[in-house]
Chain A
Amino acid sequence: MASEMTSQAYISHHLTNWTLGVHPENGLSFAATAQEASEMGFWAIHVDTMLWSVVLGLLFTWFFRKVAKTATSGVPGSAQNFVETIIEFVEDNVSSIFHYKNALIAPLALTIFVWIFLMNAMDLVPVDWIPFLTQKIGEAFGADPHHVYMKVVPTTDVNATLGMALAVFGLIVYYSIKMKGLGGFLGELAFQPLGKMFLPFNLFLEVVGLLAKPISLALRLFGNMYAGEMIFILIALMPFWAQWVLSVPWAIFHILVITLQAFIFMVLTIVYLAMSHEHH
């Protein structure tokens, strides 16, 4: 792959999403270049991000549903054992952080953990395999292979991480208002930490603190995965016989990173939602 084009073109090709959107000149179309994709503005969708995240989400729900349907309280099979280990891990984390009664939190944490883990794990598929295959398929359908984009790790797309973070943010606001009332929620924003005399200062501080939660959630995950993917791409620029020297250690290290990032996202979500239930 790398030999066919310049390194810069190779990297930017790998970092461009397969975008479907309304282009000001071409109308509804797939973006042929990264520039076209950005010209589409907000009314565009990253087909590869959606495709892979939904496929992996369905894989998660399908597998867990299959096990849940046949779940027995007797001796569990190996699949049930595996799923139960994850469930108990998540449940332990939830019960140690979140002390309120809420049927949503634990399944939410489980979904976040497994789904993000699976999306991150796409990082471990060699960087060229799926894009190369897609280019061949695109070519077969008569498309220019240089204009066929396929970014397989959804969490290296800031839209995916920010989407989840915004959903969590929505839950934070919803539960804050539900547990404390609208007045209580706004009161916390306005009258803390310095009391009524410093209302504008309080409001500024608390609003920034509130908004920092989803932003930090989204950017932490995105940054880690984007950087990791970037390094895999840079390693792929090396001669093929030397790549394993770097790619194998980096992949092994990345097993830790993808699990850790999924775990951090889950734990912070639980912490934020526990905070939204608390009265200060």
Chain B
Amino acid sequence: MNINLTIIGQIIAFAFFVVFCMKYVWPPLTDALAERKKKIADGLDAADRAHRDLKLAQEKAVSDMRASKEEAAAIIEQANKRANQIVDEAKEKAREEAERLVAAAQAEIDQEANRAKEALRAQVAALAVAGAEKILEASVDESAHAQLVEKLAAEL
């Protein structure tokens, strides 16, 4: 157990290893550790934020859904109303058209009937005259009896 130069050698070796460790070993490793710590903290932060965002988005989605449901209901209601209105309008129009057609037909019928009556009257007058002629077998003065015939025809 001699104390000798080895002690100096050991001090030098020790100093070398400590300095090397301080310059080239410790900083990169602790930097990596610190950086990882920061990354983890950031990650947790981001997760928290995402969680909050998700909650907000869910709330927004629910309220949006409710709003759009209400809107849709309103639209449907309006559409129903409009449809009823259109149906009513169409009914009204159809009724008017029908009345108009009926009226026109009625007028035409009346006109036809009048015309037929006129024709019939004329023919009946002629027939009556002819019949009377035959019955009387005498020539009746048409002009003299025209007044009578016409009277007869008007009564038909």
Contact = CB atoms under 8 A, between A and B. Distances in A.
User: Is A bound to B?
Assistant: yes
Contact of B30 (A50, A64, A76, A91): A91
Given A37-B2, A107-B25, A108-B22, A159 B32 contact: no
A110 B9 contact: no
15 contacts: A44-B4, A44-B5, A53-B13, A57-B17, A64-B29, A68-B24, A68-B26, A106-B26, A107-B26, A110-B21, A111-B14, A159-B10, A163-B14, A166-B11, A167-B18
Interface of A: 17, 19, 21, 37-38, 40-46, 49-50, 53-54, 57, 60-61, 64-65, 67-69, 71-74, 76, 80, 83-84, 87-88, 91, 103-104, 106-108, 110-111, 115, 157-160, 162-164, 166-167
Interface string B51-74: 000000000000000000000000
A73 B7 contact: no
Contacts of A60: 17
Contacts of A115: 14, 17
Given A71-B32, A87-B33, A159-B3, A45 B9 contact: yes
A162 B35 CA distance: 38
Contacts of B15: 167
Contacts of A53: 10, 13
B38 to A, nearest CB: 8
Contacts of B26: 68, 87, 106-107, 110
Contacts of B31: 71, 73
Given A73-B32, A163-B11, A111 B17 contact: yes
Which label, helix, strand, loop or mixed, suits the secondary structure of the A interface? Answer: helix
Contact of B10 (A40, A41, A49, A72): A49
B36 interface: yes
A88 B25 contact: no
Contacts of B6: 17, 44-46, 49-50, 157, 159-160, 163
Given A68-B25, A160-B6, A163-B6, 17 more contacts: A21-B5, A37-B2, A40-B4, A42-B3, A42-B4, A44-B5, A49-B10, A57-B13, A61-B25, A64-B29, A68-B26, A69-B28, A73-B32, A76-B32, A88-B33, A104-B22, A164-B11
A60 B16 CA distance: 12
Nearest to B16: A57
B5 A68 contact: no
A155 B36 CA distance: 37
Given A61-B20, A64-B25, A160-B10, A21 B1 contact: no
